[in-house]
Structure 1
Amino acid sequence: MPDFSRAEHESYVGISTLDTVAGLRERYGLRASVDELLAAANRRYLEPARTRAYPKIRKFVELPSGEGMPMAVASGSSPEAVDVILAGTGLDVFLRTAVSADEVPHGKPAPDVFPEAARRLGADPAHRVVLEDAAPGPAAARATGMRCLAIPNVAAQADAPEFATASLLLRGGQTEFTARAA
């Protein structure tokens, strides 16, 4: 298999893990099944050294949680990845509701994870705000009637047209994010 460059990796940010491995399987003619590739990707992605929460995001999550505001994770990652990352970062204490793209008909850029997360919270999507780090997310959030605060995981992608649909775009990503800015 050819080298998988950082740029190629970045092109898959925000796409469900399942869709990513299926696409890579086809693109590179891999013989392993999608399930085998998904298991391998999860093992690699979930190495303990890779699990961390950005301190400013942690603080942002802690504040509304302390006031009883319901919050959920709506992710393109597998349920296993979401669970391990939330537990590994300690954010599982605050984010008890999670929806994986594997649990809905379509992953991002389809909006399916967002209304499902709102449903599980018992909330009207129009009264929810999405924090999104990947280009496919803002348009998906808008399609559900949700506002979107975009914090690009890959700062170089901040100019992607998909981010233009965000209610608020922090072009500098994590480095620019503060609870006050949000």
Structure 2
Amino acid sequence: MSVKAVVFDLDGVIIDTEEVWEEVRRGYVAEFGREFLPDSQDRMMGMSTGEWSAHLADEVGVPRTAEQVAADVLGRMAERYREALPLIPGSVEVVRSLRQGYRLALASSSARILIDQVLQTAGLTGAFEVTLSTEEVPRGKPAPDVYLTAVAKMGLTPADCAAIEDSSNGLRSAAAAGLTVIAVPHGVYPPAADALAGASRVVGTITEVTPEMIATL
């Protein structure tokens, strides 16, 4: 069955923010005399807002409620985005190119407020038929919820869709949902071997994802 729609991740695929997230969250917990657990960074990549804020509050030990942690960190991230949006070179052009031949959706672990701001700043508002945050589904990545919901909102099946992901949890989420997975591994935070093994195609940069390549999946 040929691909009818492409579902994009946001962080690490369209914008290069994993290092920004790490810097902001590490700095935030340090203000309370706390530090990440050895696996905190890997675990939080792909978690929903409610999940990572609970991790920082309950496991890392920030003396704030999960809701307060989320509000604090999201406010700092929004400020960083206002200062400079770290677009991945060529990502906006890839979205616009694929839109000519495929239906598009966005399935992101970022909060809704950040998704909307990024799309507006990048000039991509309206480019996606469906945009979905993991805070709007029961479970964040690596659970398949956000991909299954995005596909359902388009009235399609997972077999109709390809996903573009960079992180271990994102790749696992898309594969678990049954989409054809294209991996764009992040240079600083490379995905685990088991997560990468679930990808049908691995590319070096997002610019390698063309309509012609999608047609060969």
The normalised TM-score by structure 1 is: 0.84
Indicate yes or no: 2:124 matched with 1:91. Answer: yes
The match for 1:130 is: 163
- SS of the aligned residue for 2:182 comes to strand
Counterpart in the other structure of 1:71: 104
Tell me the equivalent position of 1:18.
50
- Once the two structures are superposed, what CA deviation does each residue of 1:105-151 show, in whole Å capped at 9, x if it has no partner? 11111000001101112222211000012111222212222111111
* Contact 1:16–1:101 (Cα < 8 Å) also in 2: yes
Structure 2 residues not aligned, in runs of 5+ = 1-32
- Name the residue aligned to 1:143: 176
What is the CA–CA distance in structure 2 between the aligned matches of 1:56 and 1:39, rounded to whole Å?
A: 31
Residue 71 of structure 2 corresponds to 39
How many residues were matched structurally?
Answer: 178
Task: State the identity %.
Answer: 27
Which runs of structure 1 show a deviation greater than 4 angstroms over 4 or more consecutive aligned residues?
none
- 1:79-118 counterparts in 2 under 5 A? 79-118=112-151
What is the aligned partner in structure 2 of residue 30 from structure 1?
62
Q: TM-score, normalised by structure 2?
A: 0.72
Do residues 120 (structure 1) and 150 (structure 2) align?
no
Residue ranges of structure 1 left out of the alignment (5+ in a row): none
Provide the alpha-carbon RMSD of the alignment. 2.5
Secondary structure class of the residue paired with 2:103 = coil
Give the secondary structure class of the aligned counterpart of 1:143.
helix
Residues 134, 77 of structure 1: CA spacing in aligned structure 2 closer, same or farther, 3 A cutoff?
A: same
The structure with higher relative contact order (CA 8 Å, sep 6+) is: 2
